[in-house]
């Protein structure tokens, strides 16, 4: 148990569906992240939230829409996805401060777009 919980663990959705991924952290961290992990590619940072404010969007298509209602919860809303969006989506959290702190990851949501 890493303190970061993601639901669902697995998701299969059609290209016309709308679904949401949920992430919750119990570590008291003030930063949360969405990553995409695809085979044979480096981990891709999608979004960063610091104190509930989005501070980074790495050219992610608008069919991915993040939401951070508070510093403990992070959502990724999905709509009209493409098959190439199939991947493992990882949520992470960290405590932003001077010096280095590591990110703690959830177990991920395995997304398959059909």
Report the interface residues with other proteins, using CB under 8 A.
2, 4, 6, 40-43, 45, 90, 92, 96, 99-100, 102-108, 110
CB of 68 within 8 A of CB of 74?
yes
Residue closer to other proteins, measured from CB, 16 or 41: 41
Residue closer to other proteins, measured from CB, 6 or 64: 6
Shortest CB 53 distance to other proteins, Å? 16
Shortest CB 42 distance to other proteins, Å? 5
Strands 4-7 and 18-25: antiparallel
Distance between CA atoms of residues 93 and 74, nearest Å: 10
Shortest CB 27 distance to other proteins, Å? 13
Residue closer to other proteins, measured from CB, 7 or 82: 7
Encoded tokens for 78: 């999905």
Residue closer to other proteins, measured from CB, 17 or 104: 104
For 94, half-sphere exposure in the C-beta direction (CA atoms, 13 angstrom radius) is 12
Report the phi/psi class of residue 72: left, alpha or beta, with left for phi > 0 and alpha for psi in -120 to 50. alpha
């Amino acid at each position: 148990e890493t303190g970061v919980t993601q639901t669902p663990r697995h998701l299969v959705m059609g290209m016309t569906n709308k679904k949401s991924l949920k992430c919750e952290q119990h570590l008291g961290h003030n930063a949360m992240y969405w990553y995409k992990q695809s085979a044979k590619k480096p981990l891709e940072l999608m979004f960063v939230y610091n104190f509930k404010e989005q501070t980074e969007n790495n050219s992610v298509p608008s069919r991915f829409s993040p939401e951070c209602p508070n510093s403990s919860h992070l959502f990724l809303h999905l709509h009209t996805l493409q098959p190439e969006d199939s991947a493992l989506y990882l949520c992470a959290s960290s405590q932003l401060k001077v010096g280095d702190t590591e990110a703690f990851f959830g177990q991920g949501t395995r997304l398959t777009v059909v």
